[in-house]
Every structure is written in C-alpha cells, then in structure tokens.
Amino acid sequence: MNLKSALLGAVCAFAMAPAAYAERGTDGEVKLTFPQAVSIMNPYLSSGTKDIYASSMVIEPLAGYDDTGALVAKLVSEIPSVANGGISEDLTSITWKLLPGLLWADGSPVTAADVVFTGQYCMDPAGGCAQLSKFDGIKSIEAVDDMSVKITFNGPKPNPFTAFVGSTSPILQKAQFEACLGAAAPTCTDQNSMPLGTGPFKVTGFTVNDTVSMEANANYRDPAKPAFASAVIKGGGDAEGSARAVMSTGEFDYAWNTQIPPDSQAAMAAEGKGVFVVAFGTLVERLEMNMTDPSADLPEGERSTAKHPHPFLSDINVRKALSMAIDRQTLTEVGYGAGGAPTCNIVPAPALYASDNTGCLTQDIEGAKALLEAAGWVDTNGDGIREKDGKNLSILYQSTVNPIRQDFQALIKDWWTEIGVETELKAIDPSVFFGGDAGSPDTFQKFYADVEMYANNFDGTDPEAYLTQYKCDKAPSPENQWQGENMNRFCDPAYDAMVTELSSTRDAAKRAELAKKLNDMVTKDSFVVVPLVHRGTLSAHSNALGGVKINAWDSELWNVADWFRVK
C-alpha cells in the first residue's frame, strides 16, 4: 500500500461521489422486526443471536461467509491462503491485509491497530467476552504495519478462520472502546449500544430490548450503497406477530425467525404480500439417549453419572428400536413443513462433511418390535410394557416448552407405546433447561431423564469443535459442576482417539473423512444420538424488499447493504 494508490483511490472516490450519491439512500426506510428484542449492539457481550444479527448491520468482521458457506472478504483485499502467502506454510500464522481507504462511520481511518485492539478486548481475562472461543489457541496478534495484521497461533491450525471471521467477531474502533477493556467492558453503555462501525448503517437511537434506529453510513466504502436511507429494528412479540406484520399487514419489510406451523405459513404466503425464505445450516433437532442411570433412587451426586450405567438404554438394541419406530418424515411435515428435512446425521452440512447415512429415514415398527423380541425384551405380564430381568422399558422423555416440540413428544410417545415402551412426557421452561444452573434438577446437562430432545448446531463451517463435545471427559458431572457438553455421557476410547487425530490432521479431504466417521460413530453405529430433523432458519420478507439472500452460515443480515426497494 503506497501513497500513490491511496491518493488515486481517494480521487476516484471523490469523482464518483456525486454520481453515486444519488443512488445511496434513495429507497427510504427499511423496517425489520425480531420476535426477541435487541439488548445490546456488541456481540462480544451479547446474550443472543438477535444481538449478533442486529450489530452485523453496523460493525463488520474482516471476512464472513456467504449463503453457500464460502468465505467472502469484507474488510480485506483478499482471503489469505497458503497460495497467496497469507497463511504461513506451517499453518501457524495468518496475515490479513485491510482494504485501502477504509473509514469508520465517524470518518477516521480503519487501521491494523483497531484489529489488534479488538483481539485484546475479547481476550482480556476479566472481560467475560462471549466469543472467547474464537480466539482459542492464539499466541499473539500484532500489527505488521498500518494496514496488515498478523495472527500467530500456538501450533499449526488447519482452520485459521476463527478470529475476526463471521459476524460473531467484528472489528471495534480502538478510539471508541479504548476505555472499555476488561472489567470496564459492561459499563460502557454508550459504546455498547451505539458502536461505530464500517457497516452500511450507523446507530442513531437505541432503546434497550425495544427498538434500534439506524441511518445510512455516509462513510460506507461503496458509495452506491446502501439503497435505504434509514433502518429500524423493532423487537418483541412472538413469531406469529412478526410474520403477520410482514405477510398480512405489510407494516414491516423483514421478519427474522418466523417459526410458525406449516399451515399458517401456507396461508400467509397465499396472501401474496411476501414470501418465507429458508436457509439450512447445521441445526439438527435430536434425541439424546442417556447412557447413565437417572433414577431418583440413586443418591445425589451419583444420579446420571458414569458410576451407574443405564438399565436398558445401555442395550444398543433398545436404542436402535427406539430410533426405528420414529417416522421422521411425518415429524418434519407436522412441525416444520418446508423449513425442515429429515436427517440421520448430526453433521448434516456442509456437503463436504455430510455422511451418506439414510438408513433411519424409513419407519419400521415391525422391525423395531422384532429387534426388541430378539434381544429378550418381552411383555410377560400383558400390561403392554416390555421388560427383561425385572427392568421395565419405561422412559421419561423431556424437552422444552415449545408447541412444535410438544407435538413431537406426543407423536413419538404414540410410536414408542406401539412397540411396547411406556413413555412419560415432561416439558421444561427453556431458561431453566438451558440455564446450566447447578442447583436445578431440570437442566439438560444434569439430564435427570432417560431421553431429552433439543436442537444444536455449530458455528462456521468446520465441525471439529462440535464433534469434540462427545469425548469422555466432556461429560457433565458433579466434579465439573455439571458444566459439560457430552449430554448423553457417551464414552468410547476409539472416538476420543479419532478426535485427537482430527485435531492434528491438515489435509482437507482427510479431515472430511474423519468427521464423517465420527458422525457415524455417534449416530448409526451406536444410536446414542438420534437425529430427527435438519432445521432451517425461517424468515419472511415482503415482496417490496429485494436483494434478500438468506444465509445460515453467518448473520442473516449479511448482505443488507445490497437490499433495495422493489419498484
């Protein structure tokens, strides 16, 4: 980057400005509605996806993912790779080169110092940064010069696109956030609600958990964009209300997360004012089978721990039969319609990592019954429930309060009753279920039930961290205050060994192969995880809004700069 090109760039920008300015801000206001209101515009302190999406309109990362899952440069001139020298040969460092002439919304230039500062901000031990895991394994972040940043890792990192990639890791302005390091981070209310960014919009007003008002960023790098002069995000209500505001009354242009029943979707779409859009990421609704005994007769501290294997779910035939009895196609139709697809994989996408695993997609009630009979689970006393060695096949099946999940529970209960398994249903408030409060018996980590159902996914396009969750030592237990990710307490040394192998494998094809094998080990080889539906993200936008490309790999609002009013 030298002075001549910089000047040239500046002259061009000035020359084009008057002509291009006519296009920016000509389409009025774009109105978005979220069923959950935005609490904070800083994804590093955020408490949910809504905040990340809202802030992606204002602050941007160096690179992001487009709707196909491919990396796309945002603030850099090109994506670094080994070929162009951006990534070192031994995969221990990556260098990003910022776009020349990039400005913050207040007119000051974006420099490498801002990037380095952002790293400092999140890695500060007292900061409580929510995206800390994106900065895992980093030894140092340094500014090679004003426009280049070099990140050095502790060891070879096959996937170095973690820090500053994706809307969960945007760049903050050093000058604005300077006083907000560490413990001071939460006290910087003005900065957290009105961050200065490089994105197409700039925050003009913010009421907590209610409305975000924005106007077009006069210093945005593309002078012809955004087409809208202002934007507003109104939060609150429910999915129905949001969908209605776009599809029926036309008050809003875009509604995020409109998870409503398929019939309602069809009826609203028929009104002709808008469309629903779906994008499939990695979200899979699944059943986790508890490999340990959750019985209330066991003392506290031994319940649902490796000390007591599950009386009947330890038998793979039982788990397989339970999976065979389920008709995933019906579940998808009833619950998600076009917004879901039946699946047998916990890693359903990207296509590179999706295992060829379709054996569970056909329901086989008779086969399930036969399997149980052959394994010795028979109904000797005519009560409709199978037993063996005095143990009844009696399942406590828990999930969160959610109409679709309750429908699933009702259907699955019917199927399991047909094959001779007694099922009791339980629905828990989501804030308790996902809360992780060590004192509550209803968290999904404690798993004081036999089967639990919820949905999980992973960030970005690499499933390594996700598959690592099923290692033996990741099981929640009293020793780690029930903070673990291996909910079903699956423990297989072969699995652990393969995960370790994956973490040191660099070759992309070999990584894909290992990932597929790991996926199979927990699904079709052992049935400890019974995937049900590959869920897409469902949103709605009005026909008067153009340029929307829904994206499951990054923020849904990733290309809001390209949106325009359809005339």
Partner 1 sequence: MLTFTLRRLLLAIPTLLVISLIIFLLVDLAPGSPMSEIPLTVPPEVRLKMIAALGADQPVYVRYILWLRQFFWVEPANMLDGWFGTNFVGGEQRILSWQSRSPVFTVIGQRIPQTLTVIGTAYLVGIAIAMPIGIYSAYRQYSVFDQLGTLVAMIGFSVPTFFSGTLFIIIFAVWLHWFPTKYDTTLAVTDWASFILQIKQMAMPVMVLALANAAAISRYMRSSMLENMGQDYVRTARAKGMTERVVVLKHVLRNSLIPVVTVIALGIPSIFGGAIITENLFGVNGIGAALIGAISANDLPMVQTLAFIFAVLIVVFNLIADIAYGLLDPRIRYE
Partner 2 sequence: MSDQSIPKAQSQFGAVWRQFRVHRGAVFGLIVLGTLAAFVVFGPFFWPEVKLKVVEALKVKNQGPSLRFPFGTDQLGRDMLVRMMAAGKVSLAVGFVAMIIAIFVGTGIGILAGYFKRLDGPLMRLTDLFLSLPLIPLLLVLVMLFRDKIASIMGPELGAFLLIVYAIGITSWMQAARIVRGEVLALKEREYVLAAKSIGVPARRVILRHILPNIISPVMVAATLGVAEAIITESVLSFLGLGFPPDFPTWGRLLFDGLQYIQLYPERVIWPGLAISLTVLSVNYIGDGLRDALDPRIRGR
How near is the Cβ of 410 to partner 2 at its closest, in Å? Answer: 6
| Distance, CA of 64 to CA of 161 (rounded, Å) | 9
- Compare residues 26 and 469 and give the one whose CB is closer to partner 1: 469
- Rounded to the nearest whole angstrom, what is the least distance from the CB of residue 505 to partner 2 in the complex? 44
Site map for partner 1, 452-491, x if CB under 8 A? ----xxxx-----x--------------x--xxx------
Q: Calculate the CA dihedral of residues 120, 122, 128, 131 and round it to 10 degrees.
A: -160
Pairing of strands 274-289, 451-456: antiparallel
| Contacts of 424 by beta carbon, 8 Å cutoff, 6+ apart | 394, 395, 396, 397
| Best CA proximity match to 169, nearest among 119, 120, 109 | 119
Which residues are bridge partners to 95 per DSSP? Answer: 150
CA 71, 72, 77, 78 torsion-angle sign:
positive
Half-sphere exposure of 560 (CA within 13 A, CB side): 38
CA distance 81 to 109: 26
93 or 398: CB nearest partner 1: 398
Smallest distance, partner 1 to C-beta of residue 192, A: 6
- Tokens for 488? 């079903």
In whole angstroms, the minimum distance from the beta carbon of 324 to partner 2 comes to 14
If the CB atoms of residues 252 and 564 are measured against partner 1, the closer one turns out to be 252
- The binding track of 283-312 with respect to partner 2, each residue x by CB under 8 A or -, is -------------x----------------
With CB under 8 A, what is the number of residues at the site for partner 2?
33
Residue from 100, 128, 156, 158 touching partner 1 (CB under 8 A): that is 128
E-strand spans in 165-229? 201-206, 211-216
Which residue from 140, 164, 144 is spatially nearest to 61, judged by alpha carbons? 164
Residues 366-405: x/- map of binding to partner 2 (CB under 8 A)? ----------------------------------xx-x--
Number of residues that bind partner 1 (CB under 8 A): 65
Backbone angles phi, psi at 284, to 5 degrees: -125, 125
Site string for partner 2, 245-284 (x = CB under 8 A): ---x-----------xx-xx--x-----------------
549-565 per-residue burial string, b: 16 or more CB within 10 A, e: under 16: ebbbbbbbbbbbbebbb
d(CA 360, CA 319): 12
Residues 334-353 that bind partner 2 (CB under 8 A): 334
> Between residues 406 and 456, which has the closer beta carbon with respect to partner 1?
456
Judged by CB under 8 A, which stretch of 104-112, 151-159, 186-194, 422-430 contacts partner 2? 422-430
- The minimum distance between CB 437 and partner 2, in angstroms, equals 10
DSSP string, 204-220: EEE-TTSEEEEEE-TT-
The encoded tokens of residue 465 equal 């961290």
- Considering only 106, 190, 222, 418, the residue that binds partner 2 (CB under 8 A) is 418
Residues 168 to 227: which contact partner 1 by CB under 8 A?
183, 185-187, 189, 192-193, 205, 207-211, 213
Q: Measured from the CB atom, is 98 or 404 closer to partner 2?
A: 404
In sequence order, what DSSP letters do the residues of 47-97 get, joined into one string? Answer: -SHHHHHHHTTT---SEEE-TTS-EEESSBSS---TTTTSB-TTSSEEEEE
* C-alpha to C-alpha distances, 534 to 62, 321, 347, 457, nearest whole angstrom: 30, 21, 9, 10
406 makes contact with partner 2 (CB under 8 A)? yes
Residues between 45 and 104 with contacts to partner 1, criterion CB under 8 A: 45, 47-49
C-beta atoms surrounding 150 within 10 Å = 18
Three-state DSSP at 495 gives helix
Nearest to 231 by CA among 257, 212, 210, 245: 212
Of 73 and 269, CB closest to partner 2 = 269
307 vs 426, which CB is nearer to partner 2?
A: 426
Structure tokens at 324: 């065979």
Q: How far is the CB of 245 from partner 1 (least distance, A)?
A: 5
Among 24, 27, 30, 37, binds partner 1 (CB under 8 A): 37
CA dist 254 and 228 (Å) reads: 14
529 binds partner 1 (CB under 8 A): no
Nearest distance, CB of residue 45 and partner 1, angstroms: 6
**69 φ/ψ angles, rounded to the nearest 5 degrees:** 90, 5
- For residues 65 and 461, is the Cβ–Cβ distance under 8 A? yes
Q: Name the helix (H) or strand (E) containing 7.
A: helix 3-21
- The minimum distance between CB 503 and partner 1, in angstroms, equals 15
Taking residues 432 to 451 in sequence order and writing x for each that binds partner 2 by CB under 8 A, - otherwise, the string is: x-------xxx---------
From candidates 84, 249, 358, 362, binder to partner 1 by CB under 8 A: 249
Q: Where in 346-405 is the site for partner 1 (CB under 8 A)? A: none
Q: Site for partner 1 (CB under 8 A): which residue of 130, 227, 548, 561?
A: 130
Q: Which is nearer to partner 1, 252 or 397 (CB)?
A: 252
Is residue 153 within a helix (H) or strand (E), and if so which, with residue range? Answer: strand 148-153
Q: Tell which residue, 187, 245, 192, 195, has the closest CA to residue 57.
A: 195
- We find the least distance from the C-beta atom of residue 533 to partner 1, in angstroms, to be 16
Positions in the binding site for partner 1 (CB under 8 A): 33, 37, 39-40, 42, 45, 47-49, 125-133, 183, 185-187, 189, 192-193, 205, 207-211, 213, 232, 234, 236-237, 241, 244-245, 248-249, 251-252, 429-437, 439-440, 442-443, 456-459, 465, 480, 483-485
Rule CB under 8 A: which residues touch partner 2? 240, 248, 260-261, 263-264, 267, 296, 327, 330, 334, 400-401, 403, 406-407, 409-411, 413-415, 418, 424-429, 432, 440-442
